Amino acid sequence: MQKTYKILALLLALAFLVLPAAEAGKKDKAEEMSRQKRIMFIPHDNRPISDKQTADVVRELGYEVIVPPDDMLGSRTDLGHPEELWTWAEENASGVSAAVISSDSMLYGSLVGSRKHDCTRGEIVARLKNFEDFRAAHPALPLYVFGSIMRTPRSGEASGSEEPGYYKNYGADIFRYTLLTDKQEVEGLTSREKKEYAFLKELIPEKSMEDWMSRRTKNFAANEKLIDYTKSGVFDYFVLGRDDNAPYSQTHMEGRKLLAYSAGLGSSKFQTMSGIDEIGLLLLSRAVNNIEHKMPFIHVRYNKGTGGRTVPAYSDEHIQDSVRAAATAAGAVLIQRPEKSEYVLLVNTNPNGKTYEANDRTNDGKVRDGTQYFLDLLKDYIAKGYPVGIADVAYANGADNALMEGLKREDLLFKLRAYAGWNTPTNSTGFAVAEGLLAERMTDDARDSLLLTRYLDDWAYQANVRNKIARQLGWLRGSGVYMSLDDKILGVQYRADRMMREFADNNLPPLPALREIKVNFPWNRMFEADIVTAQ
């Protein structure tokens, strides 16, 4: 009997030991699952597309995406606060399973800050060192970093007031001068081009050129150091975006040299790619794929004609090369067989290989060469049950109205996995790659919500409403223009709200979110809008 009591006592003691251990194990597992659903994201500014819309794609998967407060990020008038961002990053790094960080924000405050800053070399070097310290403090945290090679806008007007003041007067000359500089290194200049080069060198004020080039020189050296960090393992992955550039330009030239500097780093560690605003989502997609141990396959098809060999506006490479780079950045692989892929991306290029602006008179909704071919291709893939998305790049800065009319007519708008037709063509292809890869793991409601965001922004606002209001700006009281609304902002908001509701009523199904549409202009200009719908 005494032996039995001893056995019972021993079993009870073991139970008291095992139960807390089991509970602790459950708690640890729960904490691990919670951590795996949390990602830190520091975008390069607080524009809706850079910040909220990008993070929302991953949030629709059930992840918590933590982002610094809006007033800490750069805006149009505030270049950002790198020191505060470093403090915020350190305070929030524990408990996350990955970090996607803009180096422009951490070095210069923001993307615009990278173009207009007056930072000394010493300040930049000190902020670069913060990356080493951050890695040392968080050795196991996957760290995905993206930055930019300074853009080279074609003119002062094209710069959107995001360059130093002198670019308004000499932007076109600076662009042309750097184009010839780049071309001279690659293939040489004709005698006529040599004369033009000498003329431009005399024409552009020396002080302005020195300011522009000194900033670029600092940024170039910083990008070299960031590549060094990739080589030494400080970063798990690093992407440099060639922002708004051309086949020959200062941006293209610096990209060539940085690519040479990165020799030895494969595309699994480093890339330089055309574009910038889409890269945040591409790296968030990569982070999610790595967390979930997935390497998805993508099949890509282009419209007839020039197709993948198109060199779109604001880019220096074939669109097929940009799509390949985007897939690699997102952690995916391109394949030839659609039936073996998790995602099929159709790229709507113009058959003639040209890119037009969304406000071009040809974007009137009438069927053009290539429209029906593309729609038939889409219908065929959907009929076969493939998960299909569209990168709409026939027009820059807005949707192709003829294509969208076809999608509406054929009831295909909400049969897609993803859609993007905003800003530059490479912005759209990159966003469509990343969103489409993640959308396959979402609920139907989540996918529809993301599609609605793009249709309201890219189709309704960018390709239609924005252009109508721009033509009416002169009617409104007060001072203000397209790129600086000022006194006219309330009048523009009123018209945008009304026109967006009318557009939705005429072109979109009666979804609950469309009961209310409110348009805000957080950067005090018409170029981008924050479109808020009913919750």
Q: For residues 238 and 227, is the Cβ–Cβ distance under 8 A?
A: yes
| 294-441 classified as CATH 3.90.25 | no
What is each CA distance from 418 to 131, 294, 398, 412, 452, in whole angstroms? 34, 19, 16, 12, 10
Torsion of CA 488, 494, 496, 497, to 10 degrees: 160
For residue 137, count CB atoms less than 10 angstroms from its CB and return exposed for 0-12, middle for 13-18, buried for 19 or more. Answer: exposed
Which residues are registered as beta bridge partners of 395? Answer: 356
**pLDDT per residue of the chain (535 residues) written in tens, 0 to 9:** 455 545 545 545 544 544 454 454 544 444 445 456 999 999 999 999 999 999 999 999 999 999 999 999 999 999 999 999 999 999 999 999 999 999 999 999 999 999 999 999 999 999 999 999 999 999 999 999 999 999 999 998 888 777 888 999 999 999 999 999 999 999 999 999 999 999 999 999 999 999 999 999 999 999 999 999 999 999 999 999 998 888 999 999 999 999 999 999 999 999 999 999 999 999 999 999 999 999 999 999 999 999 999 999 999 999 999 999 999 999 999 999 999 999 999 999 999 999 999 999 999 999 999 999 999 999 999 999 999 999 999 999 999 999 999 999 999 999 999 999 999 999 999 999 999 999 999 999 999 999 999 999 999 999 999 999 999 999 999 999 999 999 999 999 999 999 999 999 999 999 999 999 999 999 999 999 999 999 7
CA 101 to chain centre: 13
Torsion of CA 401, 406, 409, 415, to 10 degrees: -110
Helices (H) and strands (E) counted in the chain, each on its own, are: 18, 15
CA contacts within 13 A on the Cβ side of 423: 23
d(CA 528, CA 419): 18
**Sign of the C-alpha dihedral computed for residues 315, 316, 319 and 323 taken in this order:** negative
d(CA 16, CA 465): 68
Torsion of CA 475, 481, 485, 490, to 10 degrees: 0
Where in the chain are all domains bearing CATH 3.40.50? 37-163+213-292, 294-441
Query: Whose structure tokens read 């494969």?
Result: 266
pTM of the model: 0.92
Q: CATH fold of 37-163+213-292, please? A: Rossmann fold (3.40.50)
- Token code pair at residue 49: 């597309």
Q: For residues 465 and 504, is the Cβ–Cβ distance under 8 A?
A: no
Q: In what order do the strands lie in the sheet with 333-334?
A: 333-334, 297-302, 343-348, 388-392, 418-420
CA 393 to chain centre: 15
